[in-house]
Structure 1
Amino acid sequence: MLLYVESSAFPIHSFILQCNAADTLARIRAHLLHILYQMGHEDHQFRMRYKGQYLRDAYTLEDYRIGDHCVLKMVPMAKKNESFTDVRAERAKLGAGQTTEVKLALIHEVAMLKWRERMVAGFSGILSLNRVFTLFAALMFMWYFLSPYQPWQYSSFLPWAMLIYCIGVGLITLYTSEKCPSYTHKSGFTGPSSLWPQFFMVTFLILTVMNWGVAVFLMIRFILSILDYSCPSDESNDSCTVRGFWSYFLAIYFTLHAVYLFVIWSMGVSLLRNFRFRVGDFLEEHLVVTRDVEKVIETARNGRVKERRQAAFELATLATTGDDSKFRIVAEGGLEVLISLGLSTDEATQEYATEAMAELLTVPAIQDTFVELGGVTTLTTLLHSHNSRLVQEAVTAISYIVADSDDNKHAVVAERGLEDLAHAVQGGTDATKRNVAGIYLDLAFSPGVRAQMAARNSPTAALVSLCTGQDSETLRLALQALELVAIENADVILYQEELLNHLLNIPRKSSDAGIYLLAGKILLYFAESPEACEKMLAASNLKSALHQFAKTGDSILQKVVAKVILCTLDQRQTAARAKELNLKEVLLYIRGHAADREAWNMADAGISSIEAALFSSFAPGPDSDLGSLLSIKKPLSPFERRDEDKGGEGSGGSADGMSEAGPSSSSGPGQQSAGSSRGSQQSVRAAKERPASAASSKSSSSSSSSSSSSSSSSSSSSNKSEKSKKKK
């Protein structure tokens, strides 16, 4: 297949490569090194990129799903001008772009290709000599089969051997003149057989061997005829002389042709072996497979700028070849070198060193050594870089550290790691944000780290900002982390003003029921807080969001939605707002499409509570130290109203006051069902149970509020009766 390579360093060039799907990226880089060698830029340092992803030498084109006619980017390693601000004065400090081993391998391959070019040119030239032998074979055929001298006078097989020989010479001449390829180091194979040079050479060698065998047979036959030469007594001298002349001529001719065929056959065998060589056979070995780790690490320690950059890139490539290579790097002190290179002044060196560290940290046994050497501090420092690629590699390395060990989690958090991760979210790529969300989730599973996250505002603010993106996986991880933080301290969640809007806008971003469930659980914390509940009810899209959550058909999510609505009915003001928003429709939908019995009971209890409340009779309660905590008034039954009317008439016209301050302590069936259902719905919350103290304080406050309301109502009724007496 064909690949097209573009480079910003060579804007007027477009490199075209012929390769296979099983070729590694190291072989592709070898092709480009050959082209750069012809251009005089073999020291140019670069790496490959496809669709925004940097390609590693150890993987194949098939691994990256790179197909025919794809366009790759050849990105210079030092793509930032800031990397050279301190070295422009002395260019000698930059050093060579490629290692000595790579340069020697490149020179060796170039020498082999140039030898191929010369051999193919000489082979094509010497094949033209075969036309002379073809001409003599044609004359021989005419003399043998058209002359008056009978050819069977030598032997019966000789005419057939001559016929096979003539046909073979003609086939070789026709085949080579039509199919022989040409080759140049710059353009490669050209000609009719440019795509199958090995097939051409194998066919040519088979024809040559067959023709060479016949020529050797004829050579031996005519040499023997010369040795046995004698003129019969009945033969004329002229005919005997002619026959002897042809015997000598044919013996010499077949000897020369046999030698010629052997020479071109030897050249063909040499070329066939050379045709098996492909560009990159030696370079790939030095780029990927066998590297001297000690030399690479020594170069990384004491080399110049380009040499250290190349060494960091080689270590990153070597780390991708397997666990054995990773342990070799660690055994030779590669971790310390990479940690120091991570703080280099050259940005490209930092990037490749961080990539190498991320590859090494995929092995859990290396993570502990890395943490002991203080590598976590280097990674968290790199999170403040302006290079998004560098930040992404650092975040990837940290994600490996926190995924396997709780001790390593504390090491990440120890030195402002939470704040550094929050800084990485700002301006990071989608992959960086996804990894940061996963890191926060892994950290939140540790109780000690979760307590630190709940005590600080920056981690929660970072998680809230992660909820603004369009990536579903990032949103899921961020919501899971927020739920765990809310278990530790719900106030830090309620403090985030933008979180509520993000939660209610989730139905516009995703249709995943799992994300809806996480958002509903966090909304439950807002519903349980009176102030947060008022803010939630003030949102215009609350009803649509809850209705969308309920439509998923998930039983747990339906119960969470019902619980959220039931919590809005605990306070008088919020209950009135809930009725204005007509949240009853959501409960009706849940009751009509309930996934289980418990969800139906909760929805039915909420509907009964809303229908039983006299929202029109709400009036501001008296001010007190506890605030306005009056319970929702329930409508009086017709029998209770009749008793109130009779009592009012007997007490001298105070019925109006008594009816206004009716018995708030009476409880109808709706209240009992609502209370029992709310008590049974505490199992819905998977995150955390409400403290018993809060429940007791709530009950005491409700009782005190009811007592204060009854006293205030009695005082108001007595004042009204006194005023009526004065009027009379």
Structure 2
Amino acid sequence: MLLYIAAKAFPLRTFVVRVQPNETIARIRAQLLHILYELGRDSEQFRLRYKGQYLRDAYTCEDYKISESALLKMIPLSSKAQSALDDISISGTSDAASSSTGLLPDVHEALTKEVRLFTRRERLLFHFKSLQYVLFMGSVLSFFSTHWYSAVWSVAIWAFAVKFSPSFTRYSGFIGKQSVYKTQFCVIYGTGSLASAAAFVYFATVEISRLAMHGCKNPSYPDTCSSAALYSAIFFCIHSICLLIAAILSWQLLWNMKVEYGDYVEKCLVQNRDIEQLMQAARQHGVKVPRIAAFELATMAAASDDNKFRIVAEGGLEVLTRLALCSDEPTQEHAVETLAELMTIPAIQDTFVEMGGVRTLTALLRSKNHRTVYQVASAISYIVSDSEENKSVVVAEHGLEDLCYAANTDNLACQRLIAGVFLELVFDTDIRNQIASLNTPAEALIKLCKSPDPETKKFALQTFELLAIESSDMICAQASDHCEELLKHLLELPSTTGDTKTYILAGKILLYFAENKQSCEMMLDEPNCKKSLMRYARCHDPIMQKVIVKIIFCTLESSDLRYKAEQLELGKILTDIRDQAVDRETWDMADQALQLLSSEDDILGMPEMSTKEKMDKMSAQPKVDELKREMGGSRSSLRSRVSLHSSTSGSLSDMTKEPQ
């Protein structure tokens, strides 16, 4: 399939590469390195980005769902000014030349080797096609030989070569439809030309033996020593040599064409590099070399778990923590990306937490680079998902404040991960109480509830539900300054989404508001209250219908609220629920509410029930442990739901792929 590559460094040019869906990103990068080599810009360091996420060399186009004619962006690792700050080689004087190219030594060597092969291929094809002019003259001259019929297959072989010979340039690759069957052409032509050369050698041998037996003492060339026989002997010798050369060229082309663009470079880009060498490079001062080392470490960490343990064994956590705090943004981003990959291993998480690395991660949540924030949030999500103790460490390192700050980002990928981290944290009782006592987390969660991303919205609403599950007044008390803002959003939600699960979560939170008299009155004063409740009720989900009935029940617990409910004609909602009820219990609840609403008696004398008791009575409000099972079975499974690519890959490393 064809892919298009756009780069700001080349505003008037769009690069085109041809790859297979199962080929790696390294293959695409290798083809681009060849193009840049032809342009004299092979010193450019770059990464590829698709739909806002950086592509890693070890992954395939299928992993990233890159389709035909997709547009990828070439992102330079640094500007020329930044690259000029440091020109130190990675190791020793032997690498000095490759350092000036911006490539690691083995990559530069592989690229040079491929260029030499393709230059040779271009030269071989040029000589092969030039030789066809000679063979054409030989085919014509065959008619004047003693074996004139040899001209038939000579012309046939020449015509086959002219029609099906592939075309190749080092810059453009193979060109034309003839190049599709280039391997078959080399085999057929090589076999045919060898057979023809053998026939011509036989003819030449026959003519030479005749001339030798006759002696040709008479200058008039009588009998078998005629001028035609002498001409044929010389002609067949020369023509057989030309055919033999053409056959050799075709077989050399066949061997050469086994190498495709990127065969050698790809192996170098995804190979397991010398960790000790990379660690030494990462410890150097300057900008350029540590940046290259951090990038290579991120690629290695994404390739396998063995590489992760090798990086840690060489002191990689300390080095990466230092790089994550450097002032160079690309280096910082690659270092954090590597840490996020390492955090997929629980044993590495514990080591990282013990060395105080969480403090670094939480501080980086305030970075202005949203890609860095995304990788940090990804790393923290792994840490809080696998250990209860690590959750307390994150909170102790001012993680709540930093998470609340990061929640204000407009990047949807970051918002989803941060919402998932909040949801993981509230599973802990102590942290849940701490969050409930603060106003800042409530502001952040309200911001996340308003996210256009449906998963982020669900995670934030589930967090609110867990916070309020033990106290019906918790939501109102916690978000006292933003109660009206959250109410408006929950009431507007049916007009922005049609997801039933989101409806249920929002409806349960509305029920917490309805139980509090002040917030219930605020809800009834909203102009779109009736319309929103009607939309919620019409989702035809039994739990949602029961929640709406209980909300209306709450409006009947005081005379002033009941008066407003009557003014809003909430009875029509109950009638609609009763008419559309999907089970008997829902019908009974709606009918009972209608009777109470239409009666002159109030229900102030009814025994009070907490929200939890009301929800338990409807079998719609699970306890915290039940809610955990409802959300996916365990906190670790919830983590996989936070992953942006869980639908395509179950690997934990997919969490660090950043979509736009």
Structure 1-normalised TM-score?
0.77
1:347 corresponds to which letter in structure 2?
Answer: E
Counterpart CA distance in 1 for 2:261 and 2:546 is 66
Percent sequence identity is 41
Which of 510, 517, 524 is residue 511 of structure 2 equivalent to?
524
Contact preservation (8 Å) 2:48, 2:72? yes
Cα deviation digits, residues 123-170 of structure 1 (max 9, x gap): 222332223322331101xx55xxxxxxxxxxxxxxxxx63x322221
Would you say 1:318 and 2:318 are equivalent positions? Answer: no
Would you say 1:170 and 2:152 are equivalent positions? Answer: no
Residue aligning to 2:64: 64
Q: 1:304 to 1:536 in 2, by over 3 A?
A: same
Counterpart CA distance in 1 for 2:338 and 2:207 is 73
Counterpart CA distance in 2 for 1:564 and 1:341 is 53
Aligned pair count reads 605
SS for the counterpart of 1:428 is coil
Q: 1:206 to 1:47 in 2, by over 3 A?
A: same
Residue aligning to 1:307: 289
Would you say 1:371 and 2:371 are equivalent positions? Answer: no
Residue aligning to 1:717: none
Shift, 1:605, TM fit? 2.5
SS for the counterpart of 1:48 is strand
Q: 1:599 to 1:16 in 2, by over 3 A?
A: closer
Contact preservation (8 Å) 2:22, 2:62? yes
Residue aligning to 2:276: 294
Relative CO higher for 1 or 2, CA cutoff 8 Å, sep ≥ 6?
A: 2
Contact preservation (8 Å) 2:201, 2:237? yes
Contact preservation (8 Å) 2:536, 2:545? yes
Would you say 1:578 and 2:565 are equivalent positions? Answer: yes
Residue aligning to 1:556: 543
Contact preservation (8 Å) 2:358, 2:397? no
Would you say 1:333 and 2:333 are equivalent positions? Answer: no
Contact preservation (8 Å) 1:208, 1:261? yes
Which of 117, 129, 135 is residue 130 of structure 1 equivalent to?
135
Q: 1:28 to 1:680 in 2, by over 3 A?
A: closer
Contact preservation (8 Å) 1:521, 1:685? no
Counterpart CA distance in 2 for 1:605 and 1:262 is 100
Counterpart CA distance in 1 for 2:239 and 2:39 is 44
Counterpart CA distance in 2 for 1:278 and 1:321 is 23
SS for the counterpart of 1:505 is helix
Q: 1:489 to 1:457 in 2, by over 3 A?
A: farther
Which of 539, 563, 571 is residue 526 of structure 2 equivalent to?
539
Counterpart CA distance in 2 for 1:326 and 1:252 is 70
Would you say 1:683 and 2:610 are equivalent positions? Answer: no
Shift, 1:491, TM fit? 4.0
Residue aligning to 1:514: 501
Cα deviation digits, residues 543-572 of structure 1 (max 9, x gap): 222222222222222222222221222222
Residue aligning to 1:350: 332
Residue aligning to 2:17: 17
Shift, 1:503, TM fit? 1.4
Residue aligning to 1:99: 104
Counterpart CA distance in 1 for 2:167 and 2:598 is 93
Gaps of 5+ in 1: 145-161, 616-630, 633-666, 690-728
- The residue correspondences of 1:602-613 to structure 2 (distance < 5 A) are 602-613=589-600
Residue aligning to 2:648: none
Shift, 1:223, TM fit? 4.3
SS for the counterpart of 2:17 is strand
Shift, 1:208, TM fit? 0.5
Shift, 1:229, TM fit? 4.6
2:591 corresponds to which letter in structure 1?
Answer: D
Counterpart CA distance in 1 for 2:415 and 2:213 is 96
SS for the counterpart of 2:431 is helix
Residue aligning to 2:452: 470
Residue aligning to 2:341: 359
Cα deviation digits, residues 97-135 of structure 1 (max 9, x gap): 211111111111122222222222222223322233223
Counterpart CA distance in 2 for 1:460 and 1:350 is 30
Shift, 1:286, TM fit? 0.8
Q: 1:288 to 1:177 in 2, by over 3 A?
A: same
Would you say 1:55 and 2:60 are equivalent positions? Answer: no
Shift, 1:529, TM fit? 1.7
Shift, 1:507, TM fit? 0.9
Contact preservation (8 Å) 2:86, 2:287? no
1:104 corresponds to which letter in structure 2?
Answer: E
Shift, 1:224, TM fit? 4.3
Contact preservation (8 Å) 1:450, 1:488? no
2:156 corresponds to which letter in structure 1?
Answer: L
Contact preservation (8 Å) 1:180, 1:191? no
Counterpart CA distance in 2 for 1:242 and 1:298 is 82
Contact preservation (8 Å) 2:210, 2:225? no
Shift, 1:473, TM fit? 1.6
Would you say 1:422 and 2:404 are equivalent positions? Answer: yes
Residue aligning to 1:118: 123
2:617 corresponds to which letter in structure 1?
Answer: S
SS for the counterpart of 1:9 is coil
**Which deviates more, 507-516 or 486-495?**
486-495
Counterpart CA distance in 1 for 2:591 and 2:44 is 74
Indicate the structure (1 or 2) with the bigger Cα radius of gyration.
1
- The residue correspondences of 1:264-275 to structure 2 (distance < 5 A) are 264-275=246-257
Counterpart CA distance in 2 for 1:91 and 1:324 is 32
Superposed CA RMSD in Å reads 3.0
Counterpart CA distance in 1 for 2:409 and 2:286 is 32
Q: 1:202 to 1:681 in 2, by over 3 A?
A: closer
1:449 corresponds to which letter in structure 2?
Answer: I
Contact preservation (8 Å) 1:602, 1:681? no
Shift, 1:492, TM fit? 4.2
Residue aligning to 1:8: 8
2:452 corresponds to which letter in structure 1?
Answer: Q
Counterpart CA distance in 2 for 1:380 and 1:136 is 84
Contact preservation (8 Å) 1:587, 1:604? yes
SS for the counterpart of 1:282 is helix
Which of 390, 402, 405 is residue 387 of structure 2 equivalent to?
405
SS for the counterpart of 2:43 is coil
Shift, 1:15, TM fit? 2.1
Counterpart CA distance in 1 for 2:476 and 2:548 is 18
Residue aligning to 2:370: 388
Structure 2-normalised TM-score?
0.84
Residue aligning to 2:554: 567
- The residue correspondences of 1:122-271 to structure 2 (distance < 5 A) are 122-140=127-145, 143=146, 163=149, 165-190=150-175, 193-226=178-211, 228-229=213-214, 240-243=222-225, 246-271=228-253
Counterpart CA distance in 2 for 1:182 and 1:612 is 91
Counterpart CA distance in 2 for 1:205 and 1:558 is 78
Shift, 1:9, TM fit? 1.4
Contact preservation (8 Å) 2:140, 2:151? no
Contact preservation (8 Å) 2:86, 2:289? no
Counterpart CA distance in 2 for 1:345 and 1:550 is 54
Shift, 1:242, TM fit? 4.4
Counterpart CA distance in 2 for 1:590 and 1:182 is 73
Cα deviation digits, residues 666-693 of structure 1 (max 9, x gap): x9xxx79x99xx998752275489xxxx
Shift, 1:241, TM fit? 4.5
Residue aligning to 1:595: 582
1:168 corresponds to which letter in structure 2?
Answer: W
Contact preservation (8 Å) 2:191, 2:247? no
Counterpart CA distance in 2 for 1:290 and 1:115 is 30
**Which deviates more, 479-488 or 491-500?**
491-500
SS for the counterpart of 2:128 is helix
Contact preservation (8 Å) 1:460, 1:492? no
Cα deviation digits, residues 707-728 of structure 1 (max 9, x gap): xxxxxxxxxxxxxxxxxxxxxx
1:75 corresponds to which letter in structure 2?
Answer: I
Q: 1:176 to 1:483 in 2, by over 3 A?
A: same
Contact preservation (8 Å) 1:93, 1:305? no
Counterpart CA distance in 2 for 1:488 and 1:347 is 44
Shift, 1:318, TM fit? 1.8
Q: 1:327 to 1:541 in 2, by over 3 A?
A: same
Contact preservation (8 Å) 1:180, 1:192? no
